[in-house]
């Protein structure tokens, strides 16, 4: 059933507008995933074990808050729809708190430790408040399963543009946020002697862009599908949660989502340490270029997502990607620290990121399928609640990945103030770029093998839903 005064078919401008939302959030997500660990350990001044616990606790809080936000969004009713108004309401807090998260107060260690907890918890709160409703919009911008994949592809394509731009901004300001050369003049000492205010300034530039992009997303998009929802109230909340916990496909897709995001967060977060300590290169400039290459490759993968999934299905696409990235990641361990090894690393980065880009739209589109499955089986789509689970998977995977990254570094004796790390530390950093993330993606393979919503099953579900929805008109 279509909302009033909304055209029946989604336009190109709506798809572009929807993409602007993840253009914005991805810029901050990649900065937090790739640079926050080294910012905390080398610039802000937290001990590695304290930074590890901080990243775990705050993101676990954030993951738990996601379903709460999903429930709130499902019960929001405004002239702009259920989910879209949050783009307008939360855009400014998102930008302000994000900037303050990269501010280093001139105070003692205890105060800074508390400040880091407060600001990161606030950041994860506003991230949830805007991204859970944004993700849920995919379930109401169209009722066509294939069009959902198209919308999701626009989303992920623009997300990688945002990530590329964020990495590019960090590369442009590399001299401001990078430490000084060591005595030999050719190996960087990390970022420990960089001006903390420079980090705040660079992140503030990104924050202003994020604010404008979210406002653009709000202006260009529309909610056009009204899903079946039960009456609001505490009873229906309990029913929604019961339906969610009894949704087998949701659990399996959640596991697959956590697995691939665990893979991404460990590889991405360890890249700066790998370039600085294994390859002896600038951890800001070289790592930024490396990550930018990955973003371009992921954009290429997104362009292939719909045609590939048309041939082998969404499940087949996701499963194939998990197998590919597991194998390619393991190969990184065996690369020599030579010029040839460096170029082999770049090739592997391209291949891994094409695969990840190929899968990214499928994950979001598959959560939309899970919402349709829930609507048919339980009589309520609970779209916000289900999409909040995808955000929860992202944050839980990121939290666990960041925690494991910092814990492994702490266990291996990493010290950001040293010019040369111990052999044990160097081996740990190499494992963080190879074996450790591959374990996460391998666990995802198990989940996807059991996932039941095949292409044929979704066609059947959509046909039954169309009859059910039409009968309500």
Asked if the model's pLDDT at residue 188 lies above 50, the reply is no
pLDDT, residue 283, reads: 58
pLDDT tier at 99 (50, 70, 90 boundaries)? very high
At 454, phi and psi to the nearest 5?
Answer: -75, 175
Q: Which of the two residues, 419 and 381, has the higher pLDDT score?
A: 419
pLDDT tier at 184 (50, 70, 90 boundaries)? very low
**pTM to 2 decimal places:** 0.68
pLDDT, residue 460, reads: 85
pLDDT tier at 186 (50, 70, 90 boundaries)? very low
Question: What would the pLDDT profile of 326-383 be if each residue is shown by its tens digit?
Answer: 999 999 999 988 888 889 999 999 999 999 988 888 887 888 788 888 877 766 656 7
Question: What would the pLDDT profile of 459-468 be if each residue is shown by its tens digit?
Answer: 888 888 777 7
Mean pLDDT along residues 107-119:
93
**Encoding tokens for residue 157?**
């394509």
Question: What would the pLDDT profile of 157-169 be if each residue is shown by its tens digit?
Answer: 898 889 889 888 8
Mean pLDDT along residues 389-412:
77
Mean pLDDT along residues 404-424:
79
- Nearest-Å Rg of the Cα atoms of the chain is 22
Asked if the model's pLDDT at residue 308 lies above 60, the reply is yes
Question: What would the pLDDT profile of 444-460 be if each residue is shown by its tens digit?
Answer: 999 999 998 888 888 88
pLDDT, residue 234, reads: 43
pLDDT, residue 463, reads: 82
**Encoding tokens for residue 361?**
């739209």
Q: Of 83, 185, 120, 158, whose CA–CA distance to 357 is shortest?
A: 158
**Encoding tokens for residue 238?**
């309990």
Cα–Cα distance, 40 to 46 (Å, whole number):
5
pLDDT, residue 153, reads: 85
Mean pLDDT along residues 85-96:
96
pLDDT tier at 419 (50, 70, 90 boundaries)? low
pLDDT, residue 33, reads: 75
Q: Which of the two residues, 364 and 252, has the higher pLDDT score?
A: 252
Asked if the model's pLDDT at residue 6 lies above 70, the reply is no
pLDDT, residue 193, reads: 59
- Rounded to the nearest angstrom, the gap between the alpha carbon of residue 137 and the centroid of all alpha carbons in its chain is 17
Q: Which of the two residues, 92 and 386, has the higher pLDDT score?
A: 92
Lowest mean pLDDT among 245-254, 263-272, 398-407: 398-407
Question: What would the pLDDT profile of 32-81 be if each residue is shown by its tens digit?
Answer: 877 887 788 888 888 878 887 887 788 778 767 888 888 898 888 899 99
Half-sphere exposure of residue 453: CA atoms within 13 angstroms, side-chain side: 26
Orientation of helix 109-136 relative to helix 85-100, angle to 10°: 160
pLDDT tier at 416 (50, 70, 90 boundaries)? low
Asked if the model's pLDDT at residue 2 lies above 50, the reply is no
Separate counts of helices (H) and strands (E) for the chain: 16, 0
Cα–Cα distance, 347 to 151 (Å, whole number):
29
Asked if the model's pLDDT at residue 242 lies above 60, the reply is yes
Asked if the model's pLDDT at residue 3 lies above 50, the reply is no
Mean pLDDT of the chain: 83
pLDDT, residue 281, reads: 64
pLDDT, residue 309, reads: 87
Q: Which of the two residues, 24 and 250, has the higher pLDDT score?
A: 24
Could you please state the CATH topology (level 3) that the domain comprising 19-222+247-472 is classified under.
Growth Hormone; Chain: A; (1.20.1250)
């Amino acid at each position: 059933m279509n909302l009033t005064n909304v055209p029946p078919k989604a336009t190109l401008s709506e798809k572009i507008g929807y993409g602007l939302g993840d253009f914005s959030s991805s810029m901050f997500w990649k900065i937090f995933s790739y640079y926050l660990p080294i910012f905390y350990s080398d610039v802000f001044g937290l001990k590695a074990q304290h930074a590890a616990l901080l990243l775990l606790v705050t993101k676990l809080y954030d993951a738990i808050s996601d379903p709460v936000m999903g429930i709130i969004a499902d019960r929001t009713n405004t002239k702009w729809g259920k989910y879209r108004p949050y783009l307008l309401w939360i855009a400014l807090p998102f930008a302000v708190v994000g900037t303050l998260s990269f501010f280093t107060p001139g105070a003692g260690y205890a105060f800074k430790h508390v400040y880091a907890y407060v600001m990161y918890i606030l950041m994860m709160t506003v991230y949830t408040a805007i991204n859970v409703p944004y993700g849920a919009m995919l379930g109401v911008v169209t009722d066509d399963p294939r069009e959902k994949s198209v919308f999701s592809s626009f989303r992920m394509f623009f997300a990688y543009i945002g990530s590329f731009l964020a990495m590019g901004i960090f590369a442009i300001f590399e001299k401001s946020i990078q430490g000084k050369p060591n005595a030999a003049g050719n190996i960087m000492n990390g970022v420990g002697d960089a001006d903390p205010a420079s980090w705040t300034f660079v992140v503030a530039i990104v924050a202003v862009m994020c604010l404008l992009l979210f406002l653009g997303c709000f202006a260009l998009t529309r909610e056009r599908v009204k899903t079946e929802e039960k009456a609001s109230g505490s009873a229906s909340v309990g029913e929604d949660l019961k339906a969610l916990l009894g949704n087998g496909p949701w659990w399996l897709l959640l596991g697959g989502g956590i697995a691939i995001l665990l893979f991404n967060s460990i590889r991405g977060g360890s890249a700066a340490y790998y370039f600085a300590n294994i390859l002896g290169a600038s951890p800001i400039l070289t790592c930024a270029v490396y990550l930018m290459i990955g973003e371009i490759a992921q954009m290429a993968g997104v362009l292939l997502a719909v045609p590939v999934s048309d041939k082998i299905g969404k499940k087949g696409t996701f499963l194939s990607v998990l197998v590919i990235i597991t194998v390619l990641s393991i190969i990184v361990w065996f690369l020599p620290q030579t010029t040839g090894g460096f170029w082999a690393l770049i090739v592997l980065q391209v291949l891994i990121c094409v695969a990840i880009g190929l899968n990214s739209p499928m994950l979001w589109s598959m959560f939309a399928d899970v919402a349709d499955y829930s609507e048919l089986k339980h009589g309520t789509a609970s779209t916000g609640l289900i999409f909040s689970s995808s955000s929860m998977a992202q944050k839980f995977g990121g939290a666990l990945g960041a925690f494991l990254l910092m814990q492994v570094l702490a266990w291996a004796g990493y010290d950001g103030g040293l010019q040369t790390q111990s052999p044990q530390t160097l081996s740990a950093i190499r494992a963080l770029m190879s074996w450790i993330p591959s374990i996460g993606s391998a666990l995802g393979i198990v989940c996807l093998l059991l996932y039941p919503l095949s292409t044929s099953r979704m066609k059947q579900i959509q046909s039954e839903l169309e009859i059910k929805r039409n009968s309500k008109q």
